Structures are given as structure tokens and as C-alpha cells.
């Protein structure tokens, strides 16, 4: 077993690797950028090395700096985590050429599976079923459109070097193809330095099923069963679970056997995932499941596999990289119960899931019930430079129903703020009837987006408790007698306001013991409301109805779709902002006329910059 390892990553996955390494007695080395100087992974590691400024291209993506840090600290191995350089074959080779242990697959395996078009051809040759589509070299716009027309709409445009939901567009009709293609190529070039795409037939009732595989340097390959990651938004996974609902033993056996064949076809070593797309219109059937791609790294959702198998996949990675054989044979692996994971993000679902950056003052989830994999703690800053994931919340139960109930309870009882998070959205997704029945597909969230992202009104009971706590042991200055009637007692009421500009009137009961408070947090269904007496916030409307289009975060304007004087309709795209390696469309809040446009394509803008202004006609 190796004695030391450098983790070439940050955040949650860096902390995850450090915890397992520490349990195994392996010394750990962290790397960090300027923005991460005080990060949790830096403090958890035995040693840490600064590798550059906040932008990833100047720090976490600079392989030479990471290898130099390993040599400087005497680390024997480099674990890449996921993202960043984890699937970069050139970096893997450079690590090995430097005499270090690469905790991952052979560079040739990464290369074989790195480009989606070549990987599909390889899988077809290995007898693994693949989805119909175009994977050719001709990347001219008109020939690509002709291929899409030939396949038949809807089609999916995918960057051949893509991953993590980036560089992917669904096109439902021919008229939209060229615009979607241009956007996909821009995002792919920015994220991966490669704008080549492939085109796939889009399955109308698609389910995303993936199989965890693991290989060692002795020729052994096993699978650790399947995960279902069908609940997605914009091709990014929202809920992951294992096993897959509706999967029978015969279909599981054929699917997992195909995954093992795929891994063996590229001499795979280490942790990897074979991703499949299934047509779920008639349930899960082996003849309607096709290979999509392989991720040659540890997946974000690996904890659900760990929970149902009792395996520590990071430990397996470290052992396999040290030259040890796999700790278990295939017949020693089995499924125990049901596991489910959600990704808690600092983002506002009511505003198109725009990231919410700033200080995390409160972060508390019932860890006796839920596994919390995180790279932050109370007092940390959620930075605009990186992915805004706060934590992964994972539960394990005897049944799927128990797992859902426990995860909803954790979201309801947990508290995270003052940043806006997607916890309430996750709570509502888990409570969806279709999801509860296990009849999900990748389009479920898109079809119910408004319902799932609408912030509900707080309960009367919750408001009454908040009012009682605000008043405390006395009546307080904000209570009022109202509705005086002859021969009837008056009603005591209190008006409250939340941080979103909403106000509520509540009947007052008995005050709560303790001094009056200026504000109180109410947590219900994953939503965290900060309530104050209405007068304390001046009855402000929070800017509702404003036609000012402000930059929600620092970023680069990559497209301006309108000009001053132009008439627009509610929801019409006005401009596109690139931030956190993703494109964000800013739309008109209502029907009106563009009064001003204060930016052009290529401008770098700061948060709250006035980009455009709309007035009603």
C-alpha cells in the first residue's frame, strides 16, 4: 500500500479522499488556489501546497504545478478526484512518467473512452449495444444538420469531449438545430477546448442507468450493480439512487455483463462507470438499453453504490493503484437495501437556478440519519470561481420508500443559510407522485419545472410560531388589535415579511418565552425563510415587477439578442451570460419595450451590473 497521496482537486471530493486515506494511515497532501487558502480540504490534509490564482486554468488545471507539488512534498501518488484533470490522459501519463503512482485507469483507457464518438465505435465492436446517431468527422454546420434531419427529431447534440452536463443540447425541431449547435459548440470549446460534436437519436421516455465497474492490474473486472440517475435538469443529475427502480434480475444480469465487457475491451483499471440510456416506455428491458458513454473516474454519485454494497470505493482505488488485487470477487458482492443521494447547491431555483454566492453562516443536517459529504462548513465562503455545490446528502434504507422518507425528513429538518439553496426544490422533487412510483424519466423535472421551482407559502402554524418567537415574553411593538366589533373581542394580529419581499398577516396566540427578536428563521419543506416584523423591513416589495436586468453573478456576456427600442414578450431571451463554465440565459420579466442595453458580447461584468432595462408598453 502507498504511504502518501496528493489529491489534485478541491472541495467535497478532496475531503472525501482525505478521510479514507487517513483511515488507511496514508499521509495526504492538498493543493489549493488563492480562493481556497482557508478551505476545509486544506485544513484536513497533513500538508498543503499553493498552486496559483483562483481561475482553474491557472491552478487546478495546471498539471505541471500539481506534479511539482507532489515531488516537493514527497507524495508517492496523485488522486485526481472527479472533474478537472481526472480524465486527462496526457496528465495521467505525465504523472506516471514522473515516477508517481496514478490513482486511476491507464492513459490508453482514458483515451479510448474520452471521445464519445470513438468510444461508441469501440463498444459496438465489443458487442455492447449503442444508440443510433452520427459520429462522423465532418463538423460543417450544414452536413451536421442533414444528419440530424436523417436521424429524425428530437435529437441530442453532445460535445465529444463533454461531461457533467456541459456541451449538450436537446433539439426538438429542425428550425432550432443551427442555433442549438452554435451554442453547444461555444460551450464545448470553452469547457473542453474541443468543439466537435456527435448527434444521437433522443429517446422519448429516456432513463439514465449506469453501472459501476472496477478493475485491477491483475486482469480482474467486477461490477457493483447499477444506479439510476434519470432525475435530471439540463442533463445534470439531481437525484441518484441504487438500485434502479423496476430493474428485474434478468435485465440486471445482462446490463451488468455488458458493462463488464465494455471495461474489459479497454483493459480497464480502477473505478469507472458505464452509462446507458434506456427506453422506459415499457419498463426496463435489456433489448431497449444502449451504451451512452464511459466515465473513466470516480463518479459524484459513488456514495449510493457504497451504501448498498458496503464497499469504500476510494479505498479500492488506493489499493488497486498500489498493485493489490480487488478486495472482493463478483460472487462476494450483493445489493443490500436502497440508497439515494441529492446534491445540495447554493442556487435559486426560482431564478433559473442561478448560483448564490457568499458566506455560509448556518449548515446543520441530522447526520445521525443522513450521510453528509461536503467540502465546506459553517463560516465558509461559496465562491463564484467554482461549482456552487455545498454538499451531497445520502441516505440508506431497507426500502425505496424508507430512503425517500428519510431524505425528505433530512431536508425538512436541516438548515443551511443565509445563502439561497435548492433544498426546497429537492424536497418537492422527492415528494412528486411520479417519482415516488418509480416511473421517472429524464424529462420529468422539465415538464414540472414551474410546479417544482415555485416557492410555497409558509404554513399558518409556522407563521404563528415565528410571530410568537418574535414577540417573546411580551406583546412587543409590532402586534396590533384589529377588527374591533361590538360585543365581540378584538383580534390581535401581526404582519411579517420574508427576505423575498412577501408579507403575511398572522393571528397572535400566546407569546413564546424569551426576549423579543429582530428576526427568526423558519425552516419548512427545505425552504429557509428569514422572517421579520413587517415594519422592520419597511414593507418593501423586494423589487417585484422591476424591469432592470441585473447580472446575477460575475461573468462574461457572450450574446446579446435584443436592441434598445425592441418590443419583447415575457420569457424572451435578452442576453446570455457565461459564468461558472455554464451559459445562463437572462429573459424578459414581462411584456414590454427594451429601453436600454448596457453591454455587448465579450464584456466582463460584475454582479448586479445593469445589463438592460425593460419598461411596460
Cell of 461: 402554524
Torsion of Cα atoms, 575 then 576 then 577 then 581, to 10° = 180
Task: Select which of 16, 297, 343, 528 is catalytic.
Answer: 297
Contact 167, 180 (CB under 8 A): no
Q: Identify the CA nearest to 105 among candidates 292, 274, 256.
A: 274
3-state secondary structure 151-167: HCCCEEEEEEEEECCEE
Residue with cell 462507470: 273
Cell of 552: 446575477
Contact 56, 385 (CB under 8 A): yes
Residue 483's region, left for phi above 0, alpha for psi from -120 to 50, else beta, is: left
Strand order in the sheet with 548-550: 548-550, 610-615, 592-597, 567-568
Exposed / middle / buried, residue 187 (Cβ in 10 Å: 0-12, 13-18, 19+): buried
Contact 597, 559 (CB under 8 A): no
| Residues of the chain by 3-state class (helix, strand, coil), percent to 5 | 30, 30, 40
Q: What's the DSSP call for residue 283?
A: B
Rounded Cα distance, 187 and 513, in Å: 56
> What is the chain's alpha carbon radius of gyration, rounded to the nearest angstrom?
26
Handedness of CA 158, 298, 580, 447 (dihedral sign): positive
Rounded Cα distance, 149 and 17, in Å: 46
297 is catalytic: yes
Burial 461-483, CB ≥16 within 10 A → b, else e: ebbbbbbbbbbeeeebebbeeee
> At 562, phi and psi to the nearest 5?
-130, 170
574's CB contacts (< 8 A; 6+ apart) are 549, 560, 561, 562, 568, 586, 587, 588, 594, 611, 612, 614
Cβ neighbours of 311 (radius 10 Å): 18
Question: Mind giving me the DSSP string for 330-386?
Answer: GGG----SEEEEEEEESEEGGGTTEE--EE--EEE--TTTSEEEES--TT-EE-TTS
Strand order in the sheet with 155-163: 133-134, 197-201, 155-163, 166-171
Rounded Cα distance, 105 and 90, in Å: 12
Q: How far is CA 537 from the centre of its chain?
A: 34
> At 143, phi and psi to the nearest 5?
-60, -35
Active site residues: 297
Amino acid at each position: 500500500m502507498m504511504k502518501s497521496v496528493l489529491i489534485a482537486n478541491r472541495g467535497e471530493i478532496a475531503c472525501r479522499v482525505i478521510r479514507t486515506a487517513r483511515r488507511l494511515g496514508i499521509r495526504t497532501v492538498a493543493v489549493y488556489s488563492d480562493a481556497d487558502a482557508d478551505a476545509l480540504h486544506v485544513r484536513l490534509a497533513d500538508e498543503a501546497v499553493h498552486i496559483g490564482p483562483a481561475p482553474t486554468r491557472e491552478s487546478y488545471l495546471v498539471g505541471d504545478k500539481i506534479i511539482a507539488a507532489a515531488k516537493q512534498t514527497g507524495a508517492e501518488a496523485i488522486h485526481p478526484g472527479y472533474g478537472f484533470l481526472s480524465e486527462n490522459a496526457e496528465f495521467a501519463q505525465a504523472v506516471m512518467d514522473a515516477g508517481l503512482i496514478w490513482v486511476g485507469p491507464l492513459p490508453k483507457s482514458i483515451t479510448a473512452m474520452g471521445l464519445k464518438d470513438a468510444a461508441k465505435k469501440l463498444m459496438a465492436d465489443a458487442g455492447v449495444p449503442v444508440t443510433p446517431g452520427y459520429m462522423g468527422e465532418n463538423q460543417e454546420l450544414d452536413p451536421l444538420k442533414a444528419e440530424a434531419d436523417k436521424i429524425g427529431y428530437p435529437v441530442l447534440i453532445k460535445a465529444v469531449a463533454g461531461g457533467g452536463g456541459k456541451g449538450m443540447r436537446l433539439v426538438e425541431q429542425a428550425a432550432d438545430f443551427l442555433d442549438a449547435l452554435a451554442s453547444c459548440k461555444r460551450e464545448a470549446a470553452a469547457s473542453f477546448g474541443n468543439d466537435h460534436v456527435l448527434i444521437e437519436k433522443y429517446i422519448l421516455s429516456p432513463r439514465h442507468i449506469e453501472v459501476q465497474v472496477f478493475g485491477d492490474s491483475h486482469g480482474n473486472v467486477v461490477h457493483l450493480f447499477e444506479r439510476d440517475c434519470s432525475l435530471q435538469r439540463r442533463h445534470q443529475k439531481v437525484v441518484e439512487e441504487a438500485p434502479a427502480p423496476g430493474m428485474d434480475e434478468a435485465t440486471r444480469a445482462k446490463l451488468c455483463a455488458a458493462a463488464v465487457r465494455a471495461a474489459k475491451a479497454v483493459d480497464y483499471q480502477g473505478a469507472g462507470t458505464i452509462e446507458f440510456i434506456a427506453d422506459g416506455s415499457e419498463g426496463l428491458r435489456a433489448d431497449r438499453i444502449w451504451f451512452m458513454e464511459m466515465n473513466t473516474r470516480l463518479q459524484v454519485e459513488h456514495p449510493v453504490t457504497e451504501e448498498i454494497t458496503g464497499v469504500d470505493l476510494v479505498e479500492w482505488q488506493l489499493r488497486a493503484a498500489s498493485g493489490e488485487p480487488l478486495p472482493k470477487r463478483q460472487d462476494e458482492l450483493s445489493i443490500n437495501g436502497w440508497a439515494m443521494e441529492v446534491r445540495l447547491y447554493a442556487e435559486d431555483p426560482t431564478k433559473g437556478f442561478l448560483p448564490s454566492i457568499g458566506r455560509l453562516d448556518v449548515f446543520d443536517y441530522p447526520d445521525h440519519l443522513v450521510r453528509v459529504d461536503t467540502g465546506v462548513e459553517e463560516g465558509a465562503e461559496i465562491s463564484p470561481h467554482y461549482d456552487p455545490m455545498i454538499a451531497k446528502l445520502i441516505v440508506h434504507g431497507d426500502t425505496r420508500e424508507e430512503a425517500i422518507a428519510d431524505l425528505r425528513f433530512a431536508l425538512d429538518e436541516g438548515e443551511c443559510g443565509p445563502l439561497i439553496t435548492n433544498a426546497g426544490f429537492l424536497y418537492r422533487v422527492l415528494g412528486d407522485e411520479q417519482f415516488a412510483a418509480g416511473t421517472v424519466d429524464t424529462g420529468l423535472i422539465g415538464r414540472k419545472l414551474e410546479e417544482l421551482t415555485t416557492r410555497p407559502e409558509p404554513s399558518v402554524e409556522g407563521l404563528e410560531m415565528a410571530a410568537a418567537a418574535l414577540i417573546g415574553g411580551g406583546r412587543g411593538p409590532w402586534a396590533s388589535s384589529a377588527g374591533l366589533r361590538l360585543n365581540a373581542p378584538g383580534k390581535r394580529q401581526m404582519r411579517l415579511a420574508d427576505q423575498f419581499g412577501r408579507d403575511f398577516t398572522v393571528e397572535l396566540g400566546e407569546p413564546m418565552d424569551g426576549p423579543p427578536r429582530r428576526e427568526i428563521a423558519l425552516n419548512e419543506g427545505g425552504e429557509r425563510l428569514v422572517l421579520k416584523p413587517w415594519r422592520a423591513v419597511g414593507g418593501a416589495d423586494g423589487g417585484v415587477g422591476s424591469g432592470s436586468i441585473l447580472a446575477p453573478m460575475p461573468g462574461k456576456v457572450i450574446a446579446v439578442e435584443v436592441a434598445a427600442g425592441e418590443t419583447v414578450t415575457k420569457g424572451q431571451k435578452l442576453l446570455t451570460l457565461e459564468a461558472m463554465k455554464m451559459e445562463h440565459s437572462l429573459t424578459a420579466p414581462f411584456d414590454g419595450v427594451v429601453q436600454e442595453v448596457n453591454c455587448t458580447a465579450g464584456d466582463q461584468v460584475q454582479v448586479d451590473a445593469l445589463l438592460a432595462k425593460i419598461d411596460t408598453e
